[in-house]
Structure formats: C-alpha cells, structure tokens
C-alpha cells in the first residue's frame, strides 16, 4: 500500500482522582475525574491508500479487527467526512493493555487527529469531538491532554488552569481487568457518595503541583477492581508500600486498574521507587506528567505544518 504516512505519539493517561456519582438513565455512569496525560506512549503509524481500514499491532492481546478502537476511529471518521479511501494503521504498544491507562482510547484519538491532517479535513480537536465520543467515553480527553476535569461519562472535558507537573512511577501487575466488570461491581455497592466533593475541593485548592492537595483524591473504583481481581490485592499492597515508603505524594490505581501509579515531587525518590519495584519483579515505568501545553506542542510537531484545506 502506498500513500502518505504519519508517525504519531499516543500517550497514556492516569486518573488523579475518580468519583462514581451514580448510574444515569442511559445506563452509563455519571463520573467526575481528573485526567492526566503522562509521557508513556504507544506509536501509531497511519498510511493512506487502498480501499479498506486495516490495523496491525505488535501486542497479541489487542484485537486487530473491528473491535480495535483505532479501527473504529478511522471507520467513523471516514463515514463522517464522506471519504472513500482506505488507511493502514500500525500500533506499537507500550501502554499496558486493559490497565486503566486508556491505551485504546488514546490510539483512537491519535488516528482521528492524524486522519484529520492526512485528509485535510480541518476539523481540529473541537471538530473531532462528536466523532470521538461515539467511539468511547475517554477518547475526547485525548484530543486535548494535560490536566483536565472529566464530567458526564468522562466525555465532557475541561482543561484545568493549573497543570500538574510531577514525576510518575507506574507499576503494571500484568493482569488485565475488564472495565465493564468493575463498573458492574460498583453498581451493586453504589450508595450516595459522601466524598463526592473531593475533586471540586482539589480543584479549588491552590493547586501548586507540589502535592499538597493530592491526599484529598481517591479512586472510587479501587475497591471494586480488587473484588473483581482478588489475586491482585497482595500485589497492590506491595506496590503501594514501595511507593509510599519512597515518598510518593499520591499512590493510586489508575481508572479501573490494574496499573498502579505513584506521584513524586522529587526525581531521586521517583528513581528509587522505580528501582525498588523492578527489584521486586514488577514491570515498572518512570516518567513525567505532560501538561496541556506540552501535549499540544508534541502533537503539533508530530502532525507537521498544516496544509491548505481543500475547497
């Protein structure tokens, strides 16, 4: 297949905090969360040409057909923009699969942003929002990145004025957890939330990125995730122990798990936590949060100069 090629970054997210407020009329959950992009990334290559949408991925646990969110993104945008051309997508995975780090949603957003440029649609992140939310609740967030408040199903996204800038250490217990199963368990235990103003309290604090407000935050899915995967409880206890011992200002499950992260003000502490986790046999990653500006400029660089929009 020949045609133009774009090589794109597809970053992971963590949820700095997550509140499940209830079940909505449409069956989805009403959420309040703070999304944060980090510099752990997959690579997504898109090449225009041919007549079909095809996906290849180097990770055996990722479906390559219609269930792949990147496939769905290309197909939905093709329909929306009334295009007939095909596209070949290649994904190199580094983000843990089914680890609560939004890898599939991020890949989908990367395909939307890339095809918008390749096909010169001129939609931009705002214009792509409608298509993005049809693919998945977390996809709209990845059109924006940085530190952002997510409301509704998580698909109403608002950038926060203060962007969190800290070191991040993530441990991947290598145990995929189904997001749907975790939400199913939450439903059975859902009672009105006493802590449902935690995220707004966090935002209204003078958030300096120094960790002062992080202890307010929690992840309402953690208990249900550990009920769903009881074999994980011991690992999570060990991971949390290491992160806290090394001085993490926050240590939490990301999304519905099973990735578990720690935030650090201090690089040396983050390095030590990373080394300790590796020494205990955990697959671990160390990096940084990406602010809204950093995310935008990395994307600008990847997409290259904007061509003229066809009339």
Please state the φ and ψ torsions of residue 123, each to the nearest 5 degrees. Answer: -80, -40
Q: Which of 14, 98, 121, 242 binds ligand ATP (CB under 6 A)?
A: 98
- Residue 206 a catalytic site member: no
The interface with ligand ATP within residues 199-258 (CB under 6 A) comprises 255-256
**Span of 62-70, 213-221, 275-283, 296-304 interacting with ligand ATP by CB under 6 A:** 62-70
Asked if 102 touches ligand ATP (CB under 6 A), the answer is yes
Secondary structure of 2-23 as H, E, C letters: CCCEEEEEEEEEEEEEEEEEEE
CB of 55 to ligand ATP, least distance (A): 8
Give the count of residues interacting with ligand ATP (CB under 6 A): 22
**Cα–Cα distance between 200 and 5 in angstroms, integer?**
42
Per DSSP, the residues of 183-251 read HHHHHHH----TTTTHHHHHHHS---SSSTTGGG--BTTHHHHHHH-GGGHHHHHHHHHHHHHTT-SEE
Asked if 157 touches ligand ATP (CB under 6 A), the answer is no
Asked if 101 touches ligand ATP (CB under 6 A), the answer is yes
Q: Which of 15, 107, 235, 294 binds ligand ATP (CB under 6 A)?
A: 107
**Cα–Cα distance between 238 and 37 in angstroms, integer?**
25
CB of 254 to ligand ATP, least distance (A): 8
Per the structure block, which two tokens stand in for 293?
């500006």
Side-chain-side CA neighbours of 311 within 13 Å: the count stands at: 0
If the CB atoms of residues 107 and 291 are measured against ligand ATP, the closer one turns out to be 107
- Residue 138 a catalytic site member: yes
CB of 103 to ligand ATP, least distance (A): 4
Q: Which residues pair with 48 in a beta bridge?
A: 87
Rule CB under 6 A: which residues touch ligand ATP?
A: 62-63, 67-70, 91, 97-105, 107, 138, 176, 179, 255-256
Residues with a catalytic annotation lie at 13, 138
């Amino acid at each position: 297949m020949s045609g133009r090629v774009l090589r794109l970054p597809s970053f992971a997210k963590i949820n700095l905090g997550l509140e499940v407020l209830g079940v909505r009329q449409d069956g989805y959950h009403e959420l309040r969360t703070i999304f944060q992009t980090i510099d752990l990334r997959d690579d997504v290559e898109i090449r225009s040409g041919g007549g079909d949408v095809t996906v290849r991925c180097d990770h055996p646990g990722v479906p390559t057909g219609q269930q792949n969110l990147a496939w769905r993104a290309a197909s939905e945008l093709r329909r929306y923009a009334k295009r007939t051309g095909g596209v070949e997508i290649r994904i190199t995975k580094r983000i843990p699969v089914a680890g609560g780090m939004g890898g599939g949603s991020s890949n989908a957003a990367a395909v939307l942003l890339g095809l918008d440029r390749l096909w010169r649609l001129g939609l931009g992140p705002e214009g792509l929002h409608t298509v993005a939310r049809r693919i998945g609740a977390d996809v709209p967030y990845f059109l924006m990145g940085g530190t952002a408040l997510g409301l509704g199903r998580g698909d109403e996204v608002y950038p926060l004025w203060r962007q969190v800038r800290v070191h991040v250490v993530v441990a991947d217990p290598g145990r995929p957890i189904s997001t749907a199963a975790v939400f199913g368990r939450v439903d059975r235990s859902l009672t009105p939330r006493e802590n449902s103003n935690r995220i707004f309290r966090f935002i209204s604090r003078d958030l300096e990125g120094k960790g002062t407000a992080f202890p307010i935050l929690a992840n309402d899915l953690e208990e249900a995730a550990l009920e769903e995967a009881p074999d994980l409880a011991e690992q999570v206890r060990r991971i949390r122990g290491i992160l806290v011992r090394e001085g993490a200002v926050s240590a939490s499950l990301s999304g519905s798990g099973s990735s578990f992260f720690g935030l650090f003000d201090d690089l040396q502490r983050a390095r030590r936590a990373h080394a300790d986790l590796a020494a205990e046999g955990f697959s671990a990653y160390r990096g940084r949060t990406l602010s809204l500006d950093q995310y935008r400029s990395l994307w600008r660089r990847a997409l290259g100069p904007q061509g003229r929009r066809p009339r």
